[in-house]
Each structure stands twice: as C-alpha cells, then as structure tokens.
Amino acid sequence: MGAAPVLSLHALSGVPLVAAGDDLAAIVLGALRADGHDLRDGDVIALAQKIVSKAEGRAVPLAEVKPSFAAQDLAARCDKDARLVELILSESERVMRVRRGVLIVRHRLGFVLANAGIDQSNVDQGDEPVALLLPADPDGSAAVLRAALKAATGADVAVVIIDSFGRAWRNGTCGVAIGCAGMPGLLDLRGAPDLYGRALQTSELGLADEVAAAASLAMGQAAEGAPVVLLRGVGYARREGKAAELVRPLEMDLFP
C-alpha cells in the first residue's frame, strides 16, 4: 500500500456490554487503548445509539407502560404491541404513516423514522421485554462525551452518535447522525467554487450523515458487536456542530 490512507476507520473490538450509568468516555478510552490506538486532534469517534441509550438508562420495561386508548387504537391499526406504541407516541410529535407492521413518526427531535427509533434488538433483556428509547438529547450526549475525551487526553475530537434509519424511496437502512459535537453536522458549500470556478449547484452536504454511514459500514451488522468506531482523516472544520442542523424544519419539507 503506497500513499497514506485519506480516511481510516477502526471498529474497536474491546467494547464491553454497556449498562445504565456506565461511563462512556472511560469505555471508549479503554477500548482505544486495548486496540493500541491513541486519540489525536481531528479524530472522530462514532458511537452506536444503542450504547449511548443504554448508558443513559433509556431502557423501559414494557410491563411498566400503560397504553392510552389512542395507543391501543393505533397499535391495532399497525399490529404492534400497544405498550410499545404508547412509548413511540410519547417520543413523537406526529404520526406520519401507518400500515400493518409499519409506524413512521416524526420524533420530537425532528427525525422521521420507524417506531421513533425505539427497538428491542440488541437490548439486554432479562425475563421482561424492554424497549430502548433514543437518547433524550443526543447532541448534548455527544458534547458531554467530547468534553470528557478532551479532558482525559487533550485531543480535540468530534463525536457522532449514529443510528440506522430507513429512507423514503430507497430500500434498506443507512447510518445517520442523531447526535454530533465538535464538527459541522451540515456543511455549507454555497459559494465554494467547483473545478471550473463556478459556484456549486449542490450547496449543502450532510457531513455528519456521511460520517455516520461510513461508521455504520465499519461497524458491520448483526452479531459483530462493534459499537464504537475511530475515524481518522475526516477533514472538517472544528466547531460546535449539531446533528440538529441536519433536520429539515417541517415547514420546509416537501414530503410531510
């Protein structure tokens, strides 16, 4: 291999199962160390939403949920557990589409996705079914983790919290950023010249979403269990960014 990689992604192998109250910064630093990585200015740490949610205690035993009549009605229409639907509604600002087996909502954070991002896959379950909600404030979670990593190592890194969303018009899920700190969520390219000196027509890049998709690719899927990725070589402006930049305001959207 000749020239140095522009971009390298390392899915960390030593991340333990995460429980409520765990210190994510300590877990990330331990996993980096175990794999022989240091942390450098400009690195990006991407984390699967599930471990952030778990650490923040966002698991809810379904037995504790009392579904409203509205949730029961909606559950019948989409053929889902009414307690799960109650949680989905409590996390959402509007219901977008309902079909048998399908419940697409606009999450209170503005994300449009199935089941408000709540799932039961890869959630540690005892005897009781448990649902795992998205972090309450994923941009805030990313900022806290970024500050902790900087305090521990001195390195100025970005943190991206990722999830896998379905998309309109396209089959299959793709990694997207639900939380971001230390880099732009959205990159404004308006006015940047192209190769021929004209202004670019495509003016905004979903930078943190591309980071998320790349990290998702590196994490692999299913039973591999690699929920933290170190990305090195992402060119980005260091600033306080947010994944909220990627959410198109409802009044601007053409596909309500």
Task: Tell me whether residue 151 or residue 195 sits nearer to its own copies (CB atom).
Answer: 195
State the minimum distance, in angstroms, from the CB of residue 229 to its own copies.
8
First-to-last CA distance in the chain?
48
Residue identified by tokens 């190592």 is: 153
Task: Tell me whether residue 154 or residue 193 sits nearer to its own copies (CB atom).
Answer: 193
State the minimum distance, in angstroms, from the CB of residue 74 to its own copies.
16
215, 229 contact by CB (below 8 A): yes
Q: Which two tokens stand for residue 25?
A: 């910064």
State the minimum distance, in angstroms, from the CB of residue 20 to its own copies.
17
Task: Tell me whether residue 50 or residue 66 sits nearer to its own copies (CB atom).
Answer: 50
Contacts 24+ apart (CB under 8 A), 80-88: 80/115, 81/129, 83/131, 84/115, 84/118, 84/131, 87/60, 87/62, 87/116, 87/118, 87/131, 87/133, 88/115, 88/116, 88/118
Task: Tell me whether residue 24 or residue 48 sits nearer to its own copies (CB atom).
Answer: 48
Task: Tell me whether residue 66 or residue 201 sits nearer to its own copies (CB atom).
Answer: 201
The Cα-based distances of 214 to 128, 160, 210 in angstroms read 34, 11, 6
State the minimum distance, in angstroms, from the CB of residue 69 to its own copies.
25
State the minimum distance, in angstroms, from the CB of residue 81 to its own copies.
12
185, 207 contact by CB (below 8 A): yes
